């Protein structure tokens, strides 16, 4: 009977030790996941800050939103995009909400800028094609007259194009807001790294 009791106690001790080791292993994995996610997101935020400045500089110099810069900004967000579900490793609900809101709002702004620039190109392309067609049909028309005739035929697109003259610079200006949000979020996450 003593052997049975000893075997049971030994079994409980072994199971308890195994369970404690498993709990410790899971805590260690969770801690490592949190650390890697935090590093990845802070790296992304740092890159985003640089890209926000680049997009604003490119706009100031060329009045164009370069798709290459927007694509680089989108690609730099892969850590967050691929690991959204892991945001739950942060105990602070306010921090989780801030991360989510930053990415949601800034991604919306990036997509809006991309759409506006693409649409601007489409309107310019249509205007050039229409101008060329007008000049081809009537060789007596000057280039400036053909442009004006094309603009008159593209009334809705012209209004949209004129609207882009104010909406795109406003959208670029709003990138500064995301830059300051990214800095604030980056500092909060670096604080999380200290606690890990």
Tens-place pLDDT, residues 16-45: 566 555 656 677 787 888 899 999 999 999
Helices H, strands E: what count in the chain? 6, 0
Tens-place pLDDT, residues 141-169: 999 999 999 999 999 999 999 999 999 99
Q: In this predicted structure, what is the pLDDT of residue 193? A: 78
CA pair distance 193, 88, nearest whole angstrom:
15
Task: Using pLDDT thresholds of 50, 70 and 90, give the confidence band for residue 2.
Answer: low
pLDDT beyond 60 at 175: yes
Tell which wins on pLDDT, 14 or 91: 91
CA pair distance 75, 67, nearest whole angstrom:
12
Please compute the mean of the pLDDT values over residues 64-74 and round it to a whole number.
Answer: 94
Structure tokens at 98: 């801030």
- Angle (CA) 72 119 103, round 5°: 40
**165, 58, 81: which is closest to 119 by C-alpha?**
165
């Amino acid at each position: 009977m003593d052997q049975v009791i000893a075997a049971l106690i030994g079994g409980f001790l072994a199971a308890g030790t195994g369970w404690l080791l498993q709990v410790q292993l899971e805590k260690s994995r969770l801690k490592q996941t949190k650390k890697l996610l935090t590093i990845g997101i802070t790296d992304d935020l740092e890159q985003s800050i640089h890209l926000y400045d680049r997009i604003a500089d490119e706009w100031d110099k060329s009045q164009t939103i370069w798709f290459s810069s927007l694509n680089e900004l989108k690609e730099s967000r892969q850590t967050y995009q691929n690991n959204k579900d892991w945001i739950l490793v942060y105990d602070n609900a306010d921090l989780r909400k801030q991360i989510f809101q930053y990415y949601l709002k800034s991604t919306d702004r990036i997509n809006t800028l991309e759409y506006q620039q693409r649409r601007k190109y489409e309107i310019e392309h249509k205007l050039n094609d229409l101008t060329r067609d007008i000049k081809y049909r009537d060789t007596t028309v000057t280039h400036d007259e053909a442009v004006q005739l094309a603009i008159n035929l593209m009334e809705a697109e012209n209004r949209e194009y004129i609207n882009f003259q104010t909406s795109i610079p406003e959208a670029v200006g709003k990138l500064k807001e995301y830059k300051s949000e990214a800095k604030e979020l980056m500092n909060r996450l670096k604080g999380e790294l200290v606690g890990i």
